[in-house]
Structure 1
Amino acid sequence: MIVKNVKIYTMNDAAEVIEHGYVKITGGKFTEVGSGEPSFDDKDIIDGEGMALYPGFIDAHTHLGLTSSGVGIEGEDLNEEFDPCTPQLRIIDGINPIDYSFEQARKAGVTSVLVSPGSTNPIAGQIYAIKTAGKRIDKMIIRNVGMKFSMGENPKLTYMDKDDSPCTRMAVASTIREALFKAVRYNSDIDAAESEEDLPDYDIKSEALLPVLHREVTAHFHCHRADDIFTAVRIANEFNLDYTLVHCTDGHLIADELAEENTTCIVGPVICDRCKPEMANLTPENAAALTRNGIDTAICTDHSEVPIEYLPLSVGIAVKNGLSFYNGLRAVTEIPAKIGRIFDRTGSIEVGKDADFTLFEGNPFEVFSSPSLVSINGSIVYRNTGE
C-alpha cells in the first residue's frame, strides 16, 4: 500500500515534517518514507489529497477493556481490593477486547494504549502496551512495559473502609518499600544460589517485581498531590527505578523541582472536575507548565474516567492553555511511545516501524475533526465515509 500526496509529521527524533510526501507499507511495516511522488507503482494507492499524516495516537494511561461500557460491577476488573500488594497481576488476564470502547478508540485515531490496573493498591500489577485492533488480546500485545504503583487517597480510602492497612500515606509508602526490599533480597538469594537446591522458594510477588528492579520495565506512579509526587520520586530514587509520574496534578506547582529529577509525566485526565481533595489544583495548563520546564509530558484520558475517544480533544484543551501544537502531537505519539518502551515499534513514521497512522484533513485536536483514515499494522481499521 502507498499513501501519497500528504504532509507527514514523522515525529522522529529529528522532528522532520515532510511537506509533500508519501509512505510505502509492506507486511504491516513502513518500508519507505519520502518526499515528492513515489517512483514506483502499486495497485493499492491512496491519494491523501493534501491531508496530514500522523503516527497513530497513543494513550499512555488507560484502563481500556478492564471496565466494560454500560455494564457495571460485572464488567469491572481493574482493582483487586483485598490485598494491597499485587504485583503478580497481569492486566491481559482481565481485558475484554470486544468492548465497544476499542472501536471508539480506533475511530478517534488511537492505535495503541498502555493499559494499567486501577489505583486502589499501593502496588497494583503489570502494565501492558497493546494495539486497539483485534479480537484476542494475545495477538494485540506489544509487550509488558510497566508496573503500577499508587500513592495518596485511593489506596488510603480503600483500606480505611476495610479497617485495614494501609490507611495513611506513611503506610502506603511502607507497603511499597517492603515489597521492593523483599524483591531485592529475593534477587540476592537467587544470585547467591550455587545450585537449584539453593534457590529460594518461589515468591510470585517478588518475581514480578524483578523486572522493575532491573529497570527492564517502568514504574508508573499514580500521584496527584505534590507531597505524593515527591514520595514517588523518593522511592524511585532509593531503588534506582526507571519511573514516570501518572496524573501529576500538582506538577505545575513544582515543575522546577521535577525538572531537576529528569523524570517524565503522564498528565490527565484533562476533561474532568476536581472530584477529590488531592485534585484541588487541577488545571488544563499543567502540560504546558511541565513542558516549559523541559519535562517530557504525555497526555492521557485515564479511560474510562474520560472516554478514550476524547484523547485528541484533551490535547486540544492543553494546546488552548499554552501547549504548542507540535508538543501536543508529541504528547500522544513520540513521548508516550518512549515512556511505554514501544518507540521501536510505533510513535513515529519511520522505516521499519509498524504502519500505525492516521490521516486528518483539519487540525486533529479540534472538536469538529475526525480522522479520514486510521491504519494499524498496515491494515485500515477505520475509514470516514462521511455518512
Structure 2
Amino acid sequence: MNEHGSTTVGTALWGRAEQQEFRGRVRGCLLGGAIGDALGAGIEFDSLAAVRAAHGPAGVTGYVPAYGRRGAVTDDTQMTLFTAEGLIRAHVRRDTGAWHPPTDIHGAYLRWAATQRDWGPDERVADAGWLAREEWLYARRAPGNACLSGLADTAMGTPEAPKNPDSKGCGAVMRSAPFGLLVGWEPRQVFRLAADCAVQTHGHPTGRLAAGAFAAVVHGVVRGETLEGAVRGALALLAAHAGHEETTAALLRALDAVRQGPPTAERLESLGEGWVAEEALAMGVYCALVAEDVRHGLLLAVNHGGDSDSTGSICGNILGALHGETVLPPGWVVELEGRSTILELADDFAMELTQGPALHGRDAASAAWLARYPRA
C-alpha cells in the first residue's frame, strides 16, 4: 500500500442491503450538494439585507432564477461531479498497475476546465469519457479565479509545489465531498487525498486542510458516525498537520455556535461569509448540525450575505450523505438542473466501489464500462 493506498471493501462483503444503503447515501450527497448550490446560486453576491428586501423576511424559500432558469447549479456542482468521475477512473485504472489518484483527479479537473473555455464537447478526444460529453456542463457559472488559474496549463500542483500557494478560497472545499464517499479507505487516507488534490488549485495550508477536513466529515457520516462525532474526528486528523489552526478554530466556532441559541442568519454570519475555505466549511457544518430537516438546514445555509451557493452545497453534501436521497425535498429534486446526470454518476460511483471487480477485474471486463471510464 502506498501513500494513497486503500482498504477498499471487497464485493463479497457488500450485501444487497448494504449496497442499496450506500447508493442512497452517494445519491443523497451529490444531489443534496447540487440542491444547496442551486438554492444559493441566485443570491450568491447579495447582502442579507438585499436578500430579505427582494424575497421577504425569511429570505429565499426555494429556487430563484439564476443563469436563465430555476434550479441552476454553479461551478461547485460542476467540479464536484468531475471529482467523483476522477475517483471512478482512478479505481478503474488501478487494474493496469498505475495507482496515483491525484493524477486521475487532475485529469478530471482539466476536463472541467475545458468546459469553461470550449463551446461544447470535443468528440475527437478519445479518452474524454461520458461526463465530459454532457453539453449542459459547458457553461461558466462564476468559477473561482484560483480554480481557473490553477488549471490553466497541464502542470499538476503537488504538496511540494502547490498551485496558488497563497490562495485559501473555498474552491477546493466545495468540490471535495466525493473523497468522503470512499468508505473502504481509512479516514486519514481520505483526508490526505482530498488535501493533496486541493493543492492543484489552492496551495495555502488552510485551503488544503479545510478540504481534507470536509472529506473526513462526509466520510464519517457515511460510515455511520453522528455528525458531531464526524466533526470531532476531522478535528483530530487536522491536529496532526502543520498550519491547521485556522481550520480547527473555525470548526470549533461552529460547534460552539450550536449551543449559543436558536439558529439564525445572524448567528450563521458570525462564522464568516464563506468566501474562504475555513469559513465556508464552518458555515456548512453549522447549518447541518442545527438542521431540523434538510429543507430547514439548506435554507439556513444559503440565506446570508456571503458565498451562498458554496455554503449551501457543503451543507447539502453533508445532509445528503448523512440521511440518504429519500430525505431530499422532491420538488427541489425534480427541478434541479442536471438531475439525470447527477443520478447517473452517483449510481456509477456506487457501482464501482461495490462491484468494481465484476466490471474490470482480471476475470471480467465490461467494454461499455471502460468506454465510460477510460483507463488512458
TM-score, with normalisation over the residues of structure 1?
0.32
Bigger relative contact order, structure 1 or 2 (CA pairs below 8 A, ≥6 apart): 2
More helix by share: 2
More strand by share: 1
TM-score, with normalisation over the residues of structure 2?
0.32
